[in-house]
Structure 1
Amino acid sequence: MGHDKDVPPCPRTPLTPLGTAPPLRSDAQRNRERILEVALVELTRSADTPLSVIARKAGVGQGTLYRNFPSREALVLEIYRYEMQHVADSAARLLSGREPVCALREWMDELARFAMTKAGLADAIRQATSAPGSPAKPGHSPVTEAAELLLRSCEKAGTIRPGVTADDLILAIGGLWQLDPADDWQPRATRLLDLIMDGLRSGASGR
């Protein structure tokens, strides 16, 4: 659904559950990414999950966990930053192997996953940033820059309407942040993003 009849649909990777780990590179990197993967799942379930439980389920000692993340706040904010950077980095990767409009649509799926990560970690993030002297939540500039890259590539290809900015796109997809990660959010996210994609295509030059 959600495509003009003369525009072939873009093949996309199905939306996947939260906490899917990227490829591993070394023992140290494997430990770090495993901690982040487990912490995402456990802190989404309960913001008060003890770090000792996260270390045990990640298969590492507490010393390894604390060497990577010296505090609960550091761990929570690194999950948030790590997931956001993954979304940002995926823009160039998708553009390297897909038509720009298909890259944009699949990137929007990546953003949906990040929205669910943020929603699931809301309590943990609030705890990590609310106390006096706590670190600030990372800004969204990597995601905004990735959106601009994709939009300008699509505009140059003539597959979306001209003049759409990253801020326009982020505002339009704000409904993602209203979805409950505990529910069956994938079909609703897909429908919302397909509708937005239809709007972006409307008025395209068609070069």
Structure 2
Amino acid sequence: MRSDALSNRMRILEAAAEVLAVPGDTSMKSIARRARVGQGTLYRHFPTRESLVLQVYEAEVDDLVTAVPALLGSLSPQDGLCAWLRRLLYIGRCMPQFAEAMSVVGEASTEQCQKVYRPLLDALSVLVSANATDGTIAPGTTAEDVFTLLGPLWRIGANGAAGARAERLFEVLMRGLCPQAGAEDQ
């Protein structure tokens, strides 16, 4: 990549991080304006809003992906899955643009979106597979299923009573995913 193109890309990512960090106008137009680039330049680097948002939150995604071996090395598969999903839920609730982007990505998303989404899905697949091997997850459960189930919890606010509600619903989700956990606690 040429140095001017790399400079533009870095300015766009920096501007996007700043814009996404505060409530208000988080449009692509406002990000381009903050980065001091034209919208054409912005869309050349990031063809969709989702690809830009996921790139901004790439560090959080990398942390989640690299945490899987340590979780499985130190916790039971079920506890590792729970800890990992709890962290993903926290990120999604505190960073609503990330949650929104994750809900859009999938089969028809851009290559840039897949660069972030695919490793996350693969990491979750490892956790789901470890639980399947351990017999602690509902048979036939896939990583895609878990993402689909977690998605609505991202829409719950990140503080106060909403936080307590999100935690309660997360526990319901985990009991559904890992039904043996509920049976053991009784």
- Given that 1:81 and 1:138 are in contact with CA atoms closer than 8 Å, whether structure 2 keeps it comes out as no
**For each residue in 1:59-82, what CA deviation from the matched residue of structure 2 results, as whole angstroms up to 9, or x when unmatched?**
xxxxxxxxxxxx7x7785532222
* Distance 1:136-1:156 versus aligned 2 partners, 3 A rule: closer
2: CA distance between counterparts of 1:193 and 1:145? 21
- Match in the other structure for 1:131: none
Partner of 2:57: helix, strand, or coil?
helix
**For each residue in 1:16-40, what CA deviation from the matched residue of structure 2 results, as whole angstroms up to 9, or x when unmatched?**
xxxxxxxxxxxxxxxx9xx97xx75
- Match in the other structure for 1:159: 136
1: CA distance between counterparts of 2:172 and 2:140? 18
2: CA distance between counterparts of 1:151 and 1:142? 14
* Distance 1:76-1:150 versus aligned 2 partners, 3 A rule: closer
- Match in the other structure for 2:151: 174
| 5+ residue gaps, structure 2 | 1-9, 37-41, 47-51, 102-109
Map residues 1-207 of structure 1 onto 2, 5 A cutoff: 40=17, 43-45=20-22, 46=24, 47=26, 48=30, 50=34, 77-120=54-97, 138-139=113-114, 140-181=117-158, 185-202=162-179
2: CA distance between counterparts of 1:182 and 1:41? 22
Instruction: Please tell me the residue identity of whatever aligns with 2:119.
Output: P
- Given that 1:87 and 1:114 are in contact with CA atoms closer than 8 Å, whether structure 2 keeps it comes out as no
Q: Flag the structure with higher helix content.
A: 2
> With structure 2 as the length reference, what TM-score do the two structures score?
0.59
2: CA distance between counterparts of 1:104 and 1:142? 16
1: CA distance between counterparts of 2:112 and 2:161? 27
| 5+ residue gaps, structure 1 | 1-31, 53-70, 126-134
Instruction: Please tell me the residue identity of whatever aligns with 1:80.
Output: Y
2: CA distance between counterparts of 1:162 and 1:97? 24
* Distance 1:122-1:201 versus aligned 2 partners, 3 A rule: closer
2: CA distance between counterparts of 1:122 and 1:170? 11
Partner of 2:21: helix, strand, or coil?
helix
Give the % identical residues.
26
1: CA distance between counterparts of 2:150 and 2:127? 15
Q: CA deviation at 1:99?
A: 0.8
Instruction: Please tell me the residue identity of whatever aligns with 2:90.
Output: R
